[in-house]
Chain A
Amino acid sequence: MAVHQPLPDLPPPPSERGLWGWFRQNLFSTWYNSIASLVVGYLLIIWLGPVINWALISAVWTGEGTDDCRPGAACWIFIQQRLGFFLYGFYPAELRWRPNIVFVLFLITVVPQFFPRAPGRKWLALFGITGLPVLGFVLINGGFFGLDPVATSRWGGLMLTLILAYVGIIAALPIGVVLALGRRSEMPVIRGICVTFIEFWRAVPLITILFMASVMLPLFLPQGVSFDKLLRALIGITLFQSAYMAEVVRGGLQAIPKGQYEAAQALGFGYWRSMRLIILPQALKIVIPGIANTVISLFKDTTLVLIIGLFDLLGAVRSTLSDPAWRSVAAEGYLFVALCFWIFCFGMSRYSHNLEKKLDTGHKT
């Protein structure tokens, strides 16, 4: 019996294949695209060339001090020699194993979150939001179990940035969810409180809040009573970000069709059970991009603490830029800060993408 056997597909014509095909399709599909590509390409070559040359090819990587640096070339010795300060601030060098342990634990809890099949992922996440902050505080601050106490004024650098961001994120998200639920509550008092809180914190710039916390608050406290400066900044950042988080979550709550609420009621669920089991899981899933956005902006906003004299990564770098022992190293310093921030922010962005894909249940039309 003769079976109809179609011939195998011909390969696409050479003009549509490989590198050339990609170029044709993406860069030179029309005459105006071609012109734009050529102009941008030319600009990239004349700009990127010198930058790469400055930052990598002719850059100085090894040496003792400013005398080994050349004009017109990046001087990475500066970053190398100050790395300890940029990462830990004034944290005593012999005690840096303590924040290191916390950082390793942080990686152990966070990295598996990128791999859906990692064992014990959920338990690690739970540890990350409960045990890790407590353990981190005990280890970094000291004062327990015979660990030498290290005053918060000695915390700094990337370590401080991560602490501010981490505590801010894991505190702001639950507060934000509660505020969002409160704002949609049918009880006028609760709704009133939540609306006032959200609108107050959203209407004030973060700089103002930090400034008030650091300059005004101590004046209102009785003489001799003082609050730790880092704690004040942390509370300020958390309250500020939880207001933003609340509005993001509210967006998700409003996107859930009324039928879902009614279905939950029909099943005989009370308020908390229907929220926990039906509404919030769906609402939070919808607003993952919004939450990631807020989290990333929180991470970057932590640099504002430098105006109240806390040495976060940017503050630590800035304070050493004017060091007369070095010729101008501002470009290297800021580039280093930018790179650190990019790594963390890009990581968060990838994680949120991952999460979106994993939780996608195909309800989109």
Chain B
Amino acid sequence: MKKTLASISLATAGLLTLGMQAQAATLEDVQSAGELRCGVSTGLPGFSQPDSDGTWRGIDVDTCRAVAAAVLGNADAVEFVPLTAAERFTALQSGEIDMLSRNTTWTTVRDASLGLNFTGTNYYDGQGFLVKSELGVDSATQLDGASVCIQAGTTTELNLADYFRANGMEYEAIVFDTSEQSVSGFDNNRCDILTSDTSQLAALRTQLSDPSSAVVLPEIISKEPLGPVVRQGDDEWFNVVKWVLFLQINAEEYGVSMDNVDDMLSSDNPNVQRIVGTAGDMGDLLNLPADFGYQVISQVGNYGEMFERNVGPDTPIGLSRGVNALWTDGGILYAPPVR
């Protein structure tokens, strides 16, 4: 009876989580909890969305899983906390989550004033346009006087206003509440163009009744570097989250992938050895297990694999690498060396 009482009170305390945690040691907290609490979007195709089994899938989700693989040796030891755009920073500041990986744009204001640190960029996004092909438009500079379907309350709205003003053009905004609504508005000819992040345009296009009736314009009118975020003032944890992503990018550069990572354990290339942890003491320096690189690559894969699996050309999202290609392939993905 006493035991039951004790376990009831323990469970209640667990539900309230009133136990004080030292804010400065997120890494130890995650290790002792045996689980990483990661904030993700409530549903954004290719970035974080539940699949038919209720398993989270997406590039942001894989970013969380990579950190869990590095810290805990198990990519599935993640508790995903779905967050709305308004809640995301509070959840991180209040300690409800250990890291945020929720297609969050890295901006000066957010970095400097919210007590947060952006650890890197896992997807370089930008705002683009989807246009009815019957208009015969092939550049965004020909859009003077167009009506535009947008979602309310997003930076998309502000970027659009900036772009049209800068180019001396007029437009009529038709504002919708959700992206499904704006797509159906576009489909029913309520507007000539639909604007959104380019990572979403291809997916939105597939939702049209006739996807070939619309084309994506080449112009990108804003910079949206999306990346994981941690609390400020915990440099140890900041380093961990930052270097897990850098390691995945380096792994792609040196050709270490999920398929060949076991063979790579016996590689002679010192760069590869440092990535998989057979040489150097990177794990030690980051307070992680020595084989953390091996765990990340074998369980989640390198950056390229993460990209192809979630948003690549073979997925319904169908994005090409574009600027998200490695610097050696003409993109801007350039991670500091693992050494």
Chain A residues within 8 Å of B, Cβ to Cβ? 71, 81-82, 84-85, 88-91, 93, 141, 143-144, 149, 151-154, 156, 211, 214-216, 218-219, 221-229, 231, 306-311, 315-316, 318-325, 327-328, 330
Q: Which residues of A contact B51 (CB under 8 A)?
A: 323
Provide 13 A-B residue pairs closer than 8 Å at the C-beta atoms, listed in order of the A residue: A85-B53, A144-B11, A153-B80, A215-B90, A223-B95, A228-B16, A311-B42, A319-B82, A320-B50, A322-B49, A323-B49, A328-B209, A330-B180
Contact indicator A308/B94 (Cβ below 8 Å): no
Known: A71-B209, A309-B83, A311-B82. A320 touches B43 (CB 8 A): yes
Q: Which residues of A contact B20 (CB under 8 A)?
A: 222, 224-225
Interface centre among B7, B50, B86 (most CB of A within 10 A): B50
- Selected from B11, B44, B49, B95, the residue in CB contact (under 8 A) with A224 is B95
Residue of A nearest to B94 (CB): A218
- Selected from B14, B93, B203, the residue in CB contact (under 8 A) with A219 is B93
In the complex the two chains form, what is the Cα distance from A13 to B86 in whole Å? Answer: 69
- Selected from A143, A211, A218, A323, the residue in CB contact (under 8 A) with B96 is A218
In the complex the two chains form, what is the Cα distance from A179 to B22 in whole Å? Answer: 41
In the complex the two chains form, what is the Cα distance from A316 to B17 in whole Å? Answer: 26
Q: Which residues of B contact A89 (CB under 8 A)?
A: 54
Q: Which of the four size classes fits the interface of chain B?
A: 35 or more
Smallest beta-carbon distance B103→chain A, Å: 13
Residue of A nearest to B83 (CB): A309
B206 contacts partner chain A, Cβ-Cβ < 8 Å? yes
Q: Which residues of B contact A229 (CB under 8 A)?
A: 81, 96
Identify 5 new A-B residue pairs, CB closer than 8 A, beyond the known A84-B54, A216-B90, A328-B183.
A219-B94, A223-B95, A309-B82, A320-B49, A324-B316
Contact indicator A218/B91 (Cβ below 8 Å): yes
B301 contacts partner chain A, Cβ-Cβ < 8 Å? no
Known: A225-B20, A228-B16. A325 touches B316 (CB 8 A): yes
Q: Convert B1-32 into 0s and 1s, putting 1 for each residue whose CB lies closer than 8 angstroms to a CB of A.
A: 00010011001001111101111000000000
Q: Which residues of A contact B93 (CB under 8 A)?
A: 218-219
B84 contacts partner chain A, Cβ-Cβ < 8 Å? yes
Residue of B nearest to A324 (CB): B316
Interface residues in B64-122 (C-beta closer than 8 Å to A): 79-84, 86-87, 90-91, 93-96
9 smallest CB-CB distances across A and B, nearest first, come from A319-B43, A218-B94, A324-B316, A324-B203, A224-B21, A143-B11, A85-B54, A324-B45, A309-B82
Chain B residues within 8 Å of A, Cβ to Cβ? 4, 7-8, 11, 14-18, 20-23, 42-46, 49-54, 56, 79-84, 86-87, 90-91, 93-96, 178-180, 183-184, 203, 206-209, 315-317
In the complex the two chains form, what is the Cα distance from A89 to B96 in whole Å? Answer: 20
- Selected from B42, B52, B53, B208, the residue in CB contact (under 8 A) with A309 is B42
In the complex the two chains form, what is the Cα distance from A236 to B316 in whole Å? Answer: 40
Q: Which residues of B contact A307 (CB under 8 A)?
A: 84
In the complex the two chains form, what is the Cα distance from A231 to B56 in whole Å? Answer: 23
Interface centre among B8, B94, B317 (most CB of A within 10 A): B94
Known: A85-B50, A144-B8, A211-B86. A321 touches B180 (CB 8 A): yes
Q: Which residues of A contact B14 (CB under 8 A)?
A: 143, 149
Q: Which residues of A contact B44 (CB under 8 A)?
A: 322
- Selected from B8, B11, B49, the residue in CB contact (under 8 A) with A319 is B49
Residue of A nearest to B20 (CB): A224
Contact indicator B17/A143 (Cβ below 8 Å): no
- Selected from B17, B43, B54, B83, the residue in CB contact (under 8 A) with A226 is B17
Residue of B nearest to A315 (CB): B42
Smallest beta-carbon distance B203→chain A, Å: 4
Known: A84-B53, A225-B18, A226-B17. A144 touches B7 (CB 8 A): yes
Contact indicator B45/A323 (Cβ below 8 Å): yes
Q: Which residues of B contact A319 (CB under 8 A)?
A: 42-43, 49-50, 82
Residue of A nearest to B86 (CB): A215
Q: Which residues of A contact B50 (CB under 8 A)?
A: 85, 90, 316, 319-320
Smallest beta-carbon distance B34→chain A, Å: 12
Q: Which residues of B contact A215 (CB under 8 A)?
A: 86-87, 90
Q: Which residues of B contact A211 (CB under 8 A)?
A: 86
Residue of A nearest to B207 (CB): A328
Q: Which residues of A contact B317 (CB under 8 A)?
A: 324
Q: Which residues of A contact B18 (CB under 8 A)?
A: 225
Contact indicator A231/B15 (Cβ below 8 Å): yes
Contact indicator B54/A88 (Cβ below 8 Å): yes
In the complex the two chains form, what is the Cα distance from A327 to B209 in whole Å? Answer: 8
Residue of A nearest to B10 (CB): A143
Q: Which residues of A contact B178 (CB under 8 A)?
A: 318
